[in-house]
Amino acid sequence: MSWIKDIMNPETRLWEEFYRNRWQHDKVVRSTHGVNCTGGCSWMVYVKNGIVTWEMQALDYPKLETGLPLYEPRGCQRGIVYSWYIYSPLRIKYPYLRGVLMDFWHEARASHPDPVEAWASIVENEEKRREYQAARGKGGFRRAKWDECLEMIAASMIYTAKKYGPDRVLGFSPIPAMSMMSYAAGSRFLQLFGGVLLSFYDLYADFPPASPEVWGEKTDVAESADWFNSKYIVAEGSNLNMTRTPDAHFVVEARHHGAKLVVFSPDFSQVSKHADWWIPINAGMDGALWMAVNHVILKEFHVDRQVPYFVDYLKRFSDAGFLVRLEKTENGYTPGGFLRANCLERYRDTEHGEWKLLVFDRRSEEPRMPQGAIGFRWQSENGKWNLELKDAEDGSEIDPQVSLLDQHNEIVQAEFRDFGNERTFQRGVPVRRLETTEGPLTVATVFDLLMAQLGITRGILGEYPSSYDDEDAPYTPAWQEKFTGVGRATVVQLAREFATTAEKTKGKCTIIVGSGVNHWYHANLNYRAGITALMLCGCVGVNGGGLNHYTGQEKVTPAASWSTLAMALDWSRPPRLQNGPSFHYVHSDQWRYEKAFPDFHPREGPFAREHFMDLQAAAVRMGWLPFYPQFNRNSIELAREAKAEGKTTQQEISEWMVDQLRSGKVRFSIEDPDSPENWPRVWLIWRANALHSSAKGHEYFLRHYLGIQSNAIAEEVAQDCLHEVQWRDAPIQGKLDLVVDLNFRMDTSALYSDIVLPSASWYEKDDLNTTDLHSYVHPLGAAVPPCWESRSDWDIFRGLAEKVSALSRVHFPSPFLDIVTTPLLHDTPDEIAQPKVKDWSKGECEPLAGRTMPHIHVVERDYVNLFHRFNSLGPGIKQHGVEDHGIEIPVGELYDEFAKTVPSYEWNGNRYPSLTDVRSAANAVLFFAPETNGEMAYRGFKERERQTGLPLADLAEGQREIQYSFDDLIQQPRRILTSPCWSGIVNNGRAYTGYAMNVERLVPWRTLSGRQHFYLDHEAYRAFGESFPTFKPRISLENTLNLVKSPAAAQSLVLGCITPHGKWHIHSTYSDDLRMLTLSRGVEPFWLNDKDAREIGVEDNDWVEAYNDNGVIVTRAVVSARIPRGLCIFYHAPERTISIPKSPGRHHRRGGGTNSVTRMRLKPVLIVGGYAQHSYRFNDYGPPASDRDTYVVVHKLEGKPEWD
Amino acid sequence: MDVRAQVSMVFHLDKCIGCHTCSLACKNLWTDRPGTEYMWWNNVETKPGTGYPTLYEDQDQYCGGWGLEDGKLRLKLGSRPTELVNISFNPRLPTLDDYYEPFTYRYKNLIDAGPGDDQPVARPISMITGEEMEIEAGPNWDDDMSGSPIYAENDPNLQKVMNEEERRRFFELQQLVYFYLPRICNHCLNPSCVAACPSGAIYKRGEDGIVLVSQEKCQGWRMCVSGCPYKKVYFNWESGKAEKCILCYPRLETGQAPACMHSCVGKIRYLGVLLYDAERIEETASKPDSELVEAQREIILDPFEPEVIRQAMALGLDKKVIEAAQKSPVYKYVKQWRLALPLHPEWRTLPMLFYVPPLLPVTATLSQQGHYELEKDFFSSLESARLPIRYMSSLFAAGDETMVVAVYKKLLAGRMFKRAETVGDIPIEKAAQALEEAQLTPDEVEDIYHLTALASFDEMFVIPPMLREVAIEMGVDPHEFQEERGAGFVQLPSRGL
């Protein structure tokens, strides 16, 4: 055939050089993308003629153990187009300042030599303030000079600190893990100043509250390679192909190794393609299906037949055998609190006896107190906080009876609640009668109560279901059908396959779960239902098993050392750390648009409130949750006043402050949040899209924070439900004096800010990156210097620190005191502070700082030397060591050793390790982290040995010499070491899986019992009916208040609106990238079912309007048979800056984004504190800002889209 | 026996996650220049769907590839003489509408907009006219079944194998399914683009079989665009020349996998050398439809067979290339295991990119109350899976269902066997029986499993040595090349050209 030519003629083929030349490049540099995707992928960036040309994945991950697939290449369609941004027309090359404000500033500076006075002259003039606020988001940016921008920001901060207090200055940057030094730059600066840092994990509703509920842990999950070890994988609310793109192959490969993949997803999602079973469950109803699975597992694998592995697992690693008091009621009994050890004569005098629990021992036929409960953690005697099944008094072996059915004194009828049908049931439970110090008590095991809760009869009298086909009785396979739409036979088979696999493999079943389940209001219940199945089958803490929740790249692997630097703990403590959801719920006034709780709530007792806002205020008052601003007074002035009244010590000032609060002379800001002295004032945003994709209830942000028009039309309805919080009449708007955004692209938040500072992008700076999805640490590297006038975050905040220090010579010339409140914290003795809920403000107990109310600390600040402090690693790290998960790892002489390896920084006559260069700072993180320095790991394990009395240091014995530096990471990503701060064991290339250390090494979970909890006995959980795993349906349309003012129009449909993570962006990043827009629809479209679309006359690619009381979205429709009827998908969270027309239905103003139709709702049980695992820790605990229970009206846009 | 070496590919569709990283790796490297914006040398299609350019599979419209006339191969486009008559009029070309009008946005407005009374926005503008435009199409417009009533429902393959009622049912949730089909140039053994080119500008490299359009010789007739049934040759409107996938020869020549393969996050791609008998190309391409797949397997030679090796060496193939052929993962998938099939073999170009078809979920039924009940198979079976076998065979076997069924039997049996081995809830006897029916041995299952799940880069991409010094030596002494030109020689500098 003539067309196959052996053309070797060099002349004829010389043209081939054309493409060879195109491929040529000058340099290749390792970096990654600092974006919230959990990928954490190592990329090689190609540079040609000093210009970044493209990127390709790195291929040099250190290998895991034999038999596991390789990690590389990691990196997805989004990552590979990052280089487009660098030189794109969206790139922010210079500082920008909005024209109106710039003119005011120039004018003010001309008449005020002092910048702070200049700032005062603007913000104290209400007319000017309103004028520049009103211009926000409406164009009119002007190129500005770095110096004037930094000066204005510093002036606004100093003004605010002087006038209102430093806790009116806030900062937001999410996901430190994605570029942790850039995060640390701003947080370190803010904490030295006394500003407030807002959390992200709970704000995004990515944080799974079930995790602390069950395990006392924020999140601890397997790396993706461990999926391959699994033999039964259920993926729900997690569209692996889309959102775990570089990891998805492990699941696909596991299938070829014999694993089954079951996908729950209302739409035929991308991962469904890989499923053996695709289950199109009704959105938000996953919990009902799992409850039925639990019903079958309990019946067939715990009653009809007992699996020794399962029973043994429950005894050792769960609260199944712990005794619960049954409280007598009118009709019988109701499950109460755990029986406490000090109720028994035998254990009456044990230390912290009310924080130690009891089991019923098969051998002695008596209640016994096993080691490991939280009381053992905080008692004076060390070494008994472990999971050995021994009596803590005499060391005798204990064999806990999981069920008392064979050894009961009596069967009593107890009351159980069904929220699916809003009914109660009386069901028989086997109990023991015990003589206690409180008199005779009736107790049952958690397991027996769980049996009753789930309706497993065992021949006991009571309102038990007749069979699996009993449609009325929760939680039968037939019952769940009406919620999930999934047939009973499928559920039964799923349960059998799941449990059989677990039995045969000793727990290798996993649930991979994410935001699709977690973003609902009842996320915690949806999760606990699934976790229950995992616990019943012994799957947690096993390679290939467990609940693997991924959403939000939250795992800062070297957290102990990083948080020391990031929170400036080397200079001052404690930091001001605020849970984001409460902050925005309160300050952006979303509470004003909410009525009573949208679901079941108690009518009496301490939780009987009408409005969440009252509970929120109580939570702050009682020390459960943080809240800033703290008081209606300036915290600096208060300290000054205390001093003036002769209070000098920490203790005296704290007590003085308690008196001020008790007497009402000073009020918590939360109690009157709309009063101007309680407003937040200056907001620094970096690495974030805080005003848009992170802004649940975006339209309320626009109105109340920024002071501009909003497309929300919801009514303010809270007033009549409030009792403990001051209502102020509308309009409350424009709370913020200054919004500053550091950015490399003109995203929505930048567009709406007052000042935009050009930041170096991810190929222009050095940084560190970690994730849950793999076990490596790798760097961001500067392939080219920061482009145009951009600067790295580290350098921007250093620049700002320098300005603040300079201006402080006049305004804060010498160090001063600042009163700082913090809530009761997890992993500290605070978690045994409140055995009972008592409100000091109601006279139920004494106000005691750090016990019945927040801690009150006094912190010395030194603004003049703030810059020096930023630049130097302070002595605090040497003195206090580093801490994570309650392990304080001593640093001591390692500080001096480190000092020799990095440049030094000298001030005030002292030399410190220098942090002026971000690489030095990164090296400090790596040097003091147990995950990257074997010696630190060894020391940490020694500390854990002391606490638990268990041998553990052998896990680090062979790695003491290992120490990674930034240069090492540039050479090759490095695998983390087994660390006492985490629960996985990764020695010898073993895949990381959560809680392996608990199961294999008997380290307790950080919970009340020290075990995994089926049962949560806190009063709030009992009051709201969530003590047991249970099911509550999604919030009804009526209760969402979504469509009160937005009735359905002609040719329209009301649809549930879900916002899963999309294919062409990571949140908003990449959504404006030309490559992604080209491969998608050129705009973020609205997906709806083909039959639904036909019903309202919408064809594919038509423009549609989707609205509710919160706001409006205008975009194009994608019509597809893969979307279920009644639901629409608007993938989270495109910019509202790209191809968005105006809304004819809402005042002809620009259509919004995903968060334009949301308003956040916080869940009451998740606010409680001071009680074991129910204790606050930043980003690790608190009520998530759920937003998924949302409905919209959709119709075809009339006429042509309006643009201008 | 005319033994030649062909760099060939396997795409394992079961592993494809549809992420399009491949497309973008390619776009970054090769086609972000003026004139190439709409070119997607690598693209990923959702199936069922209409592909890119839209409906390219409809050869009644496009007349790509080869047909048989009296048992002889003929370009469907017409023979060369007719072509020369029609040379300035080529009705079989896709138009811009069949592709899309490349667009960008007025991004700068976001930074530069003056003070106004509402938020500024970046409107779409045409990359061709610079004017504001409505975006009505794109290179991946029916991704993930978007616009299914317009696109997926009109997939020519679906139209061919299902009647209206079957098609309606296919789009109900009990049966609904889609998967991804990534496509690059097939670097065919019998390339119709080469045959269609009036200028002789397209050639198949003798040493590796890569099909290239000479950017020197191309006159811009665009017959290759029409001639290629896969529509994988594109016309650069800026340079006036055709361009297509070059299988990243600058990377292959330096021992690196092509960019699309390197970047494949699903790890679905394999590359290696196949030895084939060039004498039998015409004979092979002329077989009846039902014999095409088997004939294409036949033309691939066993690299371990002494006679093949002897003949190959006699024809000047380097021993290292033969060794590479022996390690080729493509040889295993295509010839040894018979798991990978060509796309649309009935177009008779003898494509050298082969696909392992995807496993897909089981079907379901709706109860009277509308509850969804799944079929009972633990994994799935040929009977229960959402696998329109007829559809698959229309894609990968010129309609021969037995070819596709044979592949699925192997894929399913392999999984059952691994399940039986690693868990044991499927009895080993049952798995062994499935293996027998699929004509697989346990050792083969292990090898397939290894290459599917555990293979390293070196195993997935067995790149033959390209012996660049020998090629360069034909024009200039490599030592001289190193000294005088070396890597720094730049004919057409930098990105943007």
A757: Cβ contacts below 8 Å, ≥ 6 apart: A92, A95, A146, A149, A740, A741, A742, A743, A791, A796
Q: Give the number of A-B residue pairs with CB atoms closer than 8 Å.
A: 386
pLDDT at position A169 is: 98
The helix (H) or strand (E) run that includes residue A656 is helix A650-662
Average confidence score pLDDT of chain B: 93
Residues 6+ apart with CB under 8 A from A282: A266, A483, A484, A485
- Does A11 contact B475 at a Cβ distance shorter than 8 Å? yes
From CA A982, how far away is CA B229, in angstroms rounded?
56
Which A residues in the span 40-69 are in contact with B, Cβ-Cβ below 8 Å? 48-49, 51, 53-57, 59, 67-69
CB contact under 8 A, A258 and B370: no
> Does an H or E element contain A898, and which?
helix A894-901
A1139 touches B at CB < 8 Å: yes
* Closest B-chain CA to A68: B454
The residue whose two tokens read 């206690």 is A436
Pick from B276, B388, B275, B266: nearest CA to B326: B275
User: Cα(A1040)–Cα(A282) distance, rounded to whole angstroms?
Assistant: 18
B382 vs A: CB within 8 A: no
**Quick check: B457 and A1063 CB within 8 A?**
no
Return d(Cα B339, Cα B236) in angstroms, integer: 37
Distance of CA A1025 to the CA centre of its chain: 24
List the single best residue of A12, A15, A755, A1098 to mutate versus B (max B Cβ within 10 A): A15
- A559-566 vs A918-927: helix axis angle to the nearest 10? 140
Which residues, given as ranges, of chain A have pLDDT below 70? Answer: 1-10
Contact between chains at B17 and A248 (C-beta distance less than 8 A): yes
Model pTM above 0.95:
yes
**DSSP secondary structure, B106-146, as one string:** -TTHHHHPPS-SS---B-EEETTT-SB------TTTTGGGT
Q: Is the pLDDT of residue B388 over 90?
A: no
What is chain B's alpha carbon radius of gyration, rounded to the nearest angstrom? Answer: 24
Please provide residue B15's backbone torsions phi and psi, each rounded to the nearest 5 degrees.
-90, -15
Phi first, then psi, for residue A912 (nearest 5°) are -130, 160
pLDDT at A331: 82
Contact call for residues B474 and A8 (beta carbons, < 8 A): yes
3 state DSSP class of A897 = helix
- Closest CB from B145, B267, B493 relative to A21: B493
Q: How is residue B77 annotated by DSSP?
A: T
| Residue of chain A whose Cα is closest to the Cα of B49 | A1120
Q: A21 contacts in B (CB within 8 Å)?
A: 489-493
Specify the pLDDT at position A1017: 98
pLDDT level of residue B485 (50, 70, 90 thresholds): low
Is residue B144 less than 8 Å (CB to CB) from chain A? yes
Among A1188-1197, B36-45, B81-90, the minimum mean pLDDT is found in B81-90
Tracing tokens 């409680």 back to the chain, one arrives at A1168
Nearest residue to A354 (alpha-carbon basis) of A363, A364, A362, A344: A344
Scanning B297-356 for CB atoms below 8 A from A yields none
User: Using the beta-carbon criterion (under 8 Å), do A73 and B250 form an inter-chain contact?
Assistant: no
CA A707 remoteness from chain centre? 28
Pairing of strands B300-301, B269-277: antiparallel
Lookup: tokens for B315: 């024809």
What's phi and psi for A733, nearest 5 deg? Answer: -150, 160
B453: chain A residues, CB-CB within 8 Å: 69, 228, 253-254, 256-257
Contact A1110, A699 (CB under 8 A): yes
Q: Give SS3 for A691.
A: coil
In chain A, what residues touch B117 (CB-CB under 8 Å)? Answer: 138
Distance CA A207, CA A1184 (A): 7
- Measured CA to CA, the distance from residue A124 to residue A362 in angstroms comes to 74
Taking the Cβ of residue A97 and every Cβ of chain B, the question of whether any pair is shorter than 8 Å is answered with no
DSSP 8-class letter at A701: I
pLDDT for the residue B493: 36
The confidence score (pLDDT) of residue B490 equals 46
Q: Phi first, then psi: give them for residue B310, nearest 5 degrees.
A: -60, -50
Smallest CA–CA distance, residue A1071 to chain B, in Å, is 13
Q: A481 — contact with chain B (CB < 8 Å)?
A: yes
Whether the CB of A273 is below 8 Å from some CB of chain B: the reply is yes
Residue A386's alpha-carbon distances to A213, A234, A1000, in angstroms, are 19, 32, 12
**Which chain A residues are within 8 Å of B143, Cβ to Cβ?**
1063, 1079-1080
Q: How far apart are CA A99 and CA A101, in angstroms?
A: 5
CB A1034 within 8 A of CB A284: yes
B 226-285 residues inside an 8 A Cβ radius of A: 246, 248-251, 253, 259, 262-267, 278, 281-282
Query: Within an 8 Å CB–CB cutoff, is residue A1087 touching chain B?
Result: yes
CB-CB neighbours of A381 under 10 Å: 10
Cβ contacts of B135 on chain A, cutoff 8 Å: 1081-1083, 1139
d(CA B10, CA A962): 42
CB–CB of A1068/A689 below 8 Å? yes
Number of CB atoms found within 10 A of residue A413's CB: 17
Q: With a cut of 50, say whether residue B144 has pLDDT above it.
A: yes
Residues 189-218 of B with CB under 8 A from A: 189-191, 194-195, 202-207, 209, 212, 214-216
Q: What is the pLDDT of residue A1048?
A: 85
Residue A549 identity (one-letter amino acid) = H
CA dihedral in degrees (A604, A609, A612, A613; nearest 10)?
A: -150
pLDDT at residue A822 in the model: 98
Residue with tokens 């309650």: A886
Of A1135, A1143, A1150, A1132, the C-alpha closest to A1193 is: A1143
Backbone angles phi, psi at A470, to 5 degrees: -75, 105
Identify residue B134 by its one-letter amino acid code. Answer: E
Distance of residue B27 Cα from the nearest chain A Cα, in angstroms = 9
Nearest to B452 among A59, A256, A1137 (CB): A256
List the single residue in A89, A254, A500 with the smallest CB-CB distance to B425: A500
Given a cut of 70, whether residue B84 has pLDDT beyond it is no
Q: What is the pLDDT of residue A768?
A: 98
B78-99 mean pLDDT: 72
φ, ψ of residue A874 to 5 degrees: the values are -75, 170
pLDDT band, residue B90 (cuts 50/70/90): confident
SS3 A983: coil
